[in-house]
Amino acid sequence: MIQQLDGVDLADRLQEIAGRIRARADKVTTEEATKTAMVMPFIAHILGYNVFDPSEVIPEYTADVGTKKGEKVDYAIFQDEQPILLFECKQFGAPLGRDQISQLYRYFSVTDVRFGVLTDGGVYQFYSDIEEQNRMDMHPFLEFNLLDPDTVDVAELKRFTKTQFDADTILANARDLKFTREVLRLLHAEWQDPSEDFVRLLASRVYDGVKTKRVMEQFTRATKKAQRQFVAGQVNERLKVALSSADTEDGDTQPEESVTEDSTGIITTEEEWQAYYAVSAILSDAVDPQRVTIKDYLNHCNILLDNNRKQPICRLYFNSTQKKVGLIDDGREIEKVPLNAIGDLFDFADHLRGTVYRYLESVTDKPAGGTSEVSSVSM
C-alpha cells in the first residue's frame, strides 16, 4: 500500500481506484475483503494517509460509548494525535442507510470527531453534525460512487486529504453542500409528484380566486404540464446553442434550417433532435447521455442505447400530422402513443428508464399501461 502520490492529479487517481474496484468486485464477498481491497486503497491513495502508521490510521478504533463498552469503528484517521475522521465499512454492495450508521451516530455523541464516513468500498457517504453539534445528521452532506467517478466532487473530496484537511473549512462548505443536496432532493420530489403545498404556492402567485378542490386539481395538471414544457424548452435552447457552436467551429455555411441530412438523403428534423435531447435528459440519471444515440430511417427515427439497433429505447414517428412515440415493452413489442408536444415525452420517463434498465440488466421500473397500436419490433 502506498500513500498519495505527489504530482498525480486526484481525478486520475480516482479513475485508477475505480478500475481496481471493478476488477476486484466479483471477488469481494465479505466485509473484511471490502476493507482490504477497497477502503484501505481509498484511504491511502486518495486521501493520502499511511494505513501502516498507527499515528495516522488506527483500524478497529475502540471507545466507550455510554453504557456500551468497547464500541468499535473500522478505521479512525488521526491528525495531531486526535481522531478527525471515522470510517464504518460494510460489505461491498450492502445497503447504506439509517440502519447502518448506528455506530457512527453513537460516536458523535461522546467524541470531538466532526466527520464520519459510511461506505461499502464503492459508495462513500460523508456525515457531520451540521444541524446539532455532537449529534450526527441523518443525511450525508457528501456522497459519491467510485464506480462512477463523474459523481465525485473532486474539489470537496480534496479537502479531506492529508495535506489539505481543515475541519472549519470543511464544515463551512458542508453546510452549503447539505442544504443544496436537500433542496435538490425536494425539487426532484416535487418534479416527480408535485405536492399540494407546492401547487398551492404556485397557484397563489397567479390566481386570486378561492382555491377549491377543482381549482387545485386544475393547477396540479397545469403544474405538471408546465414542468414538462419548461424542460423541453431548456433542452431546445441548449440544442440550438450546441448546433450554433458546431456551425461556428466548423465554418459551415449551410442554410439555417435545423435539419440534418445523411448520405442517403434522409433528413433528421429539428423536432426529432429535440425529442432525442429530451430522451437523453430523461435518461441522464440512468445512463451516461453519450450512450444514447439517434438513427434516422425513412419512416421513423430510432433512439438507441450504445448505437445498438438491438437496444432500441424508443421510436419517433414524426412524418405524419399526428406525431407518435413507439415505446418498447418487456416483450420487445412497440406501442405507438400519440404526442401533442415534445414535452409529452416526459410522461413516459419511467417507461423509458425501464427499457434502459432492462438492457443494463438492472432493476426495471414497470411501465405505465396503455393500449394503442401494437406491433413487433423490427430490428
**159-202 pLDDT, tens digit each:** 999 999 988 888 888 888 888 878 888 888 888 788 989 999 98
Q: What tens-digit pLDDT sequence spans the chain (379 residues)?
A: 444 444 457 888 888 888 888 888 888 889 999 999 999 999 998 999 999 999 999 999 886 555 556 668 899 999 999 999 999 999 998 888 777 777 788 777 777 788 999 999 999 999 998 888 878 888 888 888 888 766 677 888 889 999 999 888 888 888 888 888 788 888 888 887 889 899 999 888 888 888 888 888 888 888 888 877 777 666 666 655 555 554 554 444 443 444 455 545 577 888 888 888 889 888 877 788 788 999 888 788 999 998 888 899 999 999 888 999 999 988 788 899 999 888 888 889 889 988 998 888 743 343 444 434 444 454 4
Sign of the Cα torsion 164, 167, 172, 177 reads positive
pLDDT at 277: 86
Query: How far is it, in rounded angstroms, from Cα 181 to Cα 140?
Result: 9
pLDDT at 191: 80
pTM, 2 dp: 0.56
Residue 160 near residue 151 (C-beta atoms within 8 A): no
Confidence at residue 178, expressed as pLDDT on a 0 to 100 scale: 80
For residue 153, the model assigns a pLDDT of: 78
Alpha helices in the chain (DSSP H): 10-24, 31-34, 40-41, 102-108, 154-158, 167-192, 196-206, 213-250, 270-282, 349-359
**How many CB atoms within 10 Å of residue 50?**
16
SS3 at position 66: coil
User: Rounded CA gap, 173 and 242, in Å?
Assistant: 33
Measured at the alpha carbon of residue 262, what is the angle toward residues 261 and 268, in degrees to the nearest 5?
A: 45
Report the distance separating Cα 333 and Cα 75, nearest Å.
52
Local structure of residue 286 (DSSP, 8 states)? T
The pLDDT assigned to 147 comes to 82
Rounded CA separation 9/335 (Å): 49
Question: What's the pLDDT score for residue 89?
Answer: 93
What's residue 174's pLDDT? 82
| Assigned C-alpha cell, 117 | 464516513
How far from each other are the two terminal CA atoms of the chain, in whole angstroms? 50
Closest residue by Cα to residue 115 from 157, 67, 152: 157
202: its cell numbers: 404556485
Task: Name which of 44, 37, 54 is nearest 4 in CA terms.
Answer: 44
Gap between the Cα atoms of 198 and 85, Å rounded: 39
Round to whole Å and give the CA distance between 128 and 134: 9
Q: What is the predicted pLDDT for the residue at 75?
A: 93
Q: Which fold has domain 10-182?
A: tt1808, chain A (3.90.1570)
DSSP 135: B
Domain ranges within the chain, ordered by starting residue? 10-182, 196-250, 263-376
